[in-house]
Chain A
């Protein structure tokens, strides 16, 4: 029997989903739905937009207004929806390649405008849908099918990128830290402006296998043992933090939201003509 959450928010007839056994994406998707549930949003006023890739299949299973767009462009489509109907809660689900390679330009500009969208990046450090090529978040010297001798590109820190570009709420959690992820997404939904949540996923099929990370369970254990909450990190020495993954709320500094700013122009012009 599916849980009440699944019953209420998933298109159960579309399940099971296409993700591989052990993939972190299912857990992450459930955390997002849980956050939507806890936020008490009207399903009719929620729109979930995605690009192309493994993560981008998520909206198909969710019972909202859902839009599966072209590779990298989810945020640009979402921007149009938000501008046309600012009362819609727009949530964008992207992968790491989707959001930071082909869609990198849209990402930084959505951050800069502080438009009221909640973006969630499912980061599994690999292009899964196409079979395991290295992505902009594949750690240096790790392998992918297009980096058979080790990847020499430096990886992006998506949260730092988003925070520097102007996102007003930024947080990171892992598939293992599902409850933290839910609360971060909840806070993000509560932020008027642009929020970015990086959800570290696992890809045992490609990334794990190529890089000898063991089973899905081993990869989850890695997340459990190596993630440090930002609140705890303050008390740790730089040596102790070496190689650790910072999770938690990384930025929370609200600023005026884009569509509200635009509405002010419309209102001002209306007033001037009266």
Chain B
């Protein structure tokens, strides 16, 4: 067998992960710095009997993956800032109609066209609240090539399990960097399929949730002739103007993610046992934080790192615990302070929170974090 140790790009790892997770349809529109995801999907999908489509625009890409998913194909689209903005309306559609799909956003400098070939982390809040109305969201953020592979699979698994769109929030550094990876054997992977109805078509209520708040989903074309709409709907799937129905639906959509928080939340921490200072960061910046921690530890300063992997839902409980015993949490971000708002909400009363922000569309360097911590000591 060919060695699976190789140099791989982040965007490539995303496609490898998607295909391993069972992606059989991709629709998108070319945009830097995510284009390699489209190119590699175009190359690899027909080899596994899947289909790739370059749509006429970003909105069409998002719409097409929802359609394909309703017909039973695990589907993904990838984009960057401007395209992510354009896709928002249909992300909301996938949320209310409960259609599993994966949306990758390789973040670049914004707003607007911004800095297309440079990294940023400006869509933390857009990932959370980009589409209108109250809604839940799952957004995962990798900080290495191997993790991009793993999280793409996880994104598909969660989309299928909870019948919801899942956002993979990458950045230009992780998307474009190449590093040594060893991919797991496909037999070692856990792949989740959506829950399909086991009742007859006459008995099927497409939006009647089980105990886990997730309704079983029938593929179009398999004999369950049901209705799907972006309007508020009852358990039958048909629109309703009833206040009680609306309240029940919107609460269930949020609660189905909320009740599975323990399974969805993930993070990585290092040297937090004795840490007086924690650096909280994500994506490519987490790699700078790790270097900074090592530099500071070598100087005898007790620094640890906390890296949320699921940005949304945020690993809230664990951070609150940690915040009770550290002096300071430093939050370096390649934006003017987005995730720090969540950190302040969770533990602003327990500890001092320091921001380090950079919007020059360059990665934050370890030395910048070191300097910041030495300043606040």
A residues with a Cβ closer than 8 A to B are 14, 43-45, 47, 49, 59-60, 63-70, 73, 76-85, 87-88, 105-106, 108-109, 259, 262, 265-266, 269-270, 273
Is the Cβ of A77 less than 8 Å from the Cβ of B66? yes
Give the chain B neighbours of A273 by CB distance below 8 A. Answer: 47
Decide yes or no whether B133 CB sits under 8 A from chain A. no
Instruction: Select from chain A the residue with minimum beta-carbon distance to B219.
Output: A85
Is the Cβ of B68 less than 8 Å from the Cβ of A67? no
Is the Cβ of B68 less than 8 Å from the Cβ of A60? no
Give the chain B neighbours of A87 by CB distance below 8 A. Answer: 221
- Chain A: minimal CB distance from B218 (Å): 9
Chain B at the A interface: SS class: mixed
Alpha-carbon gap, A65 to B237, bound state (A): 12
Is the Cβ of B220 less than 8 Å from the Cβ of A85? yes
Give the chain A neighbours of B230 by CB distance below 8 A. Answer: 68-70
Give the chain A neighbours of B63 by CB distance below 8 A. Answer: 69-70, 73, 76-77, 79-80, 106
Segment of B69-77, B169-177, B260-268 in the binding face: B69-77
Decide yes or no whether B307 CB sits under 8 A from chain A. no
Is the Cβ of B225 less than 8 Å from the Cβ of A63? yes
Give the chain B neighbours of A66 by CB distance below 8 A. Answer: 225-228
Instruction: Select from chain B the residue with minimum beta-carbon distance to A77.
Output: B67
Is the Cβ of A65 less than 8 Å from the Cβ of B64? no
Give the chain A neighbours of B55 by CB distance below 8 A. Answer: 76, 79, 109
Decide yes or no whether B149 CB sits under 8 A from chain A. no
Give the chain A neighbours of B231 by CB distance below 8 A. Answer: 68
- Chain A: minimal CB distance from B246 (Å): 17
Decide yes or no whether B222 CB sits under 8 A from chain A. yes
23 contacts between A and B (CB under 8 A): A14-B238, A47-B221, A60-B227, A60-B239, A64-B225, A66-B227, A69-B66, A76-B55, A76-B59, A76-B63, A76-B67, A79-B60, A79-B63, A79-B67, A80-B63, A80-B68, A80-B70, A81-B67, A81-B71, A84-B24, A84-B72, A266-B49, A269-B47
Instruction: Select from chain A the residue with minimum beta-carbon distance to B101.
Output: A80
- Chain B: minimal CB distance from A260 (Å): 12
Q: Which 6 pairs across A and B sit closest by C-beta, in order of nearness? A: A80-B67, A76-B63, A80-B64, A80-B68, A84-B71, A84-B68
Contact of A79 among B64, B73, B220 (CB under 8 A): B64
Alpha-carbon gap, A273 to B46, bound state (A): 12
B residues with a Cβ closer than 8 A to A are 24-25, 27, 46-47, 49, 51, 53, 55-57, 59-61, 63-73, 75, 89-90, 93, 219-231, 238-239
Is the Cβ of B64 less than 8 Å from the Cβ of A83? yes
Contact of B71 among A60, A70, A80 (CB under 8 A): A80
Given known pairs A83-B53, A84-B72, the reply for A59 and B227 (CB within 8 Å) is yes
Given known pairs A83-B51, A85-B220, the reply for A68 and B71 (CB within 8 Å) is no
Give the chain B neighbours of A67 by CB distance below 8 A. Answer: 67, 70, 220, 227-229
Is the Cβ of B60 less than 8 Å from the Cβ of A76? yes
Alpha-carbon gap, A68 to B239, bound state (A): 10
Tell me the number of A-to-B contacts counted with CB atoms below 8 Å.
Answer: 140
- Chain A: minimal CB distance from B53 (Å): 6
- Chain A: minimal CB distance from B357 (Å): 35
- Chain B: minimal CB distance from A79 (Å): 5
- Name the residue among B27, B49, B220 with the largest chain A CB count within 10 angstroms: B220
Give the chain B neighbours of A266 by CB distance below 8 A. Answer: 46, 49, 51
Is the Cβ of A65 less than 8 Å from the Cβ of B226? yes
Contact of A81 among B49, B57, B220, B239 (CB under 8 A): B220
- Chain B: minimal CB distance from A2 (Å): 18
Alpha-carbon gap, A81 to B51, bound state (A): 11
Is the Cβ of B51 less than 8 Å from the Cβ of A73? no
- Chain B: minimal CB distance from A255 (Å): 18
Instruction: Select from chain A the residue with minimum beta-carbon distance to B231.
Output: A68
Is the Cβ of B53 less than 8 Å from the Cβ of A60? no
Give the chain B neighbours of A108 by CB distance below 8 A. Answer: 56
Give the chain B neighbours of A70 by CB distance below 8 A. Answer: 63, 89-90, 93, 230
Give the chain A neighbours of B69 by CB distance below 8 A. Answer: 80, 84
Is the Cβ of A88 less than 8 Å from the Cβ of B71? yes
Is the Cβ of A109 less than 8 Å from the Cβ of B60? yes
Given known pairs A84-B73, A269-B46, the reply for A105 and B56 (CB within 8 Å) is yes
Alpha-carbon gap, A67 to B72, bound state (A): 14
Given known pairs A65-B226, A88-B221, the reply for A79 and B71 (CB within 8 Å) is no
Alpha-carbon gap, A270 to B93, bound state (A): 36
Give the chain A neighbours of B239 by CB distance below 8 A. Answer: 60, 68
Instruction: Select from chain A the residue with minimum beta-carbon distance to B27.
Output: A80
Alpha-carbon gap, A179 to B220, bound state (A): 30
Give the chain A neighbours of B223 by CB distance below 8 A. Answer: 44
Give the chain B neighbours of A262 by CB distance below 8 A. Answer: 46, 51
